[in-house]
A = this chain, B = another copy of it.
Amino acid sequence: MPKSFPTIRAFLWKKGSLLLLDQRLLPHQIKWVRCRTWKQVAKAITDMVVRGAPAIGCVAAYGIVLAARQKALPQAFEGLLKARPTAVNLRWALERMRQVSEVSRDLEREALAIEEEDRRANRAMGQLGAALLPENAVVLTHCNTGSLATAGLGTAFGVIWTAHQKGKIKKVIASETRPYLQGARLTAWELQQEKIPFELITDNMAAHLMNAEKMDAVIVGADRIAANGDTANKIGTYSLAVLARHHEIPFYVAAPTSTVDLRTLSGKEIPIEERSAKEVTEVRGRSIAPKNTKARHPAFDVTPADFIAAIITEKGVAKPPFIDSLRELCNSVPLAVI
């Protein structure tokens, strides 16, 4: 019988405190960090103890539950919103929690609902996305979009996981995703645990493999999707989209509608977080460049909608023109649970 739940969890709400698996230490060390205050949650998001747009949304919601107990809701709404700028799921979850806070004291129930909905969304995206892949598929994915990035199976990873359950995956190509190495550290670890065949590559090998070997699809997650379909995602995504287009390989985005920001009209309006240069000049604490090297670190890039074959959401698959299909999907009722 196929599994319907992954074994890895990025966060656990337990006995009124939030446990976060410290993703900075993976895959070499399993360490849980306990957050008892909203400030600890905000810092964990900023410091990337937890990352992945949907996971950040869920975790921020629990941060608000903690803040309510601290009688610090106004500061928490403000402070958590600033924890990271690009992923819109953070704002989305905080706005949901704020609306509930205005009419009810049961914030915990709303946070649990956000988590459960994300889990269901993952399952739905998995089914919808797997149907897009051919048999015997070789699929490239970037960054980490699995259980560590969401409440459930994952977004792009959930599609791969579901397709694997259906016997459709020949192998996954996981790009290591410099500078933070989410592909090498996190996706490789999840793929290994789920026994999905894969090969790890450096980001700059993707074009060579697209040209010299078989590749059927590129599938990635998203941190924010603008109303027109422009998609902000981990740095390197835009590069893969251009390369996929050149090699005539379909490029898919998988993300719940909580990642779609209809208020952001195009990718130009999406703020791109610039993180520390040290994350480029050091790898796992070791310097890889001369002292005082000036390095760049845009943590995300924007892929214009034009490069995207389809956006897989939990409510259906959006196709171009996304300005119409995304609005329609976002305003539709959820699909019956798959």
Contact = CB atoms under 8 A, between A and B. Distances in A.
Interface residues of A, number: 52
A196 to B, nearest CB: 12
Identify which of A198, A202, A284, A293 gathers the most chain B CB atoms within 10 Å of its CB.
Answer: A202
A125 to B, nearest CB: 24
A290 B188 contact: yes
A295 B172 CA distance: 11
B283 A288 contact: yes
Contact of A289 (B184, B280, B281, B296): B184
A336 B206 CA distance: 42
Contacts of A212: 301
Contact of A298 (B200, B205, B293, B301): B205
Contact of A202 (B184, B188, B235): B235
Each complex incorporates copies of this chain amounting to: 2
A204 interface: yes
B239 A206 contact: yes
A177 B200 contact: no
A75 interface: no
A281 B202 contact: no
A200 B238 contact: no
Contacts of A223: none
Given A205-B235, A208-B298, A235-B202, A192 B280 contact: no
Contact of A293 (B28, B188, B236, B245): B188
A14 to B, nearest CB: 26
Interface in A207-257: 207-209, 211-212, 235-236, 238-239, 242-243, 245-246
Identify which of A188, A205, A281, A296 gathers the most chain B CB atoms within 10 Å of its CB.
Answer: A205
Contacts of A185: 288-289
A295 B199 contact: yes
Contacts of A296: 199-201, 205, 209
Interface in A92-139: none
A179 interface: yes
A199 to B, nearest CB: 5
Given A176-B289, A207-B238, A283-B283, 20 more contacts: A178-B202, A181-B288, A192-B290, A192-B293, A200-B280, A200-B281, A200-B289, A200-B293, A200-B294, A201-B295, A204-B204, A204-B235, A205-B296, A207-B242, A207-B301, A208-B298, A208-B301, A239-B239, A245-B246, A284-B288
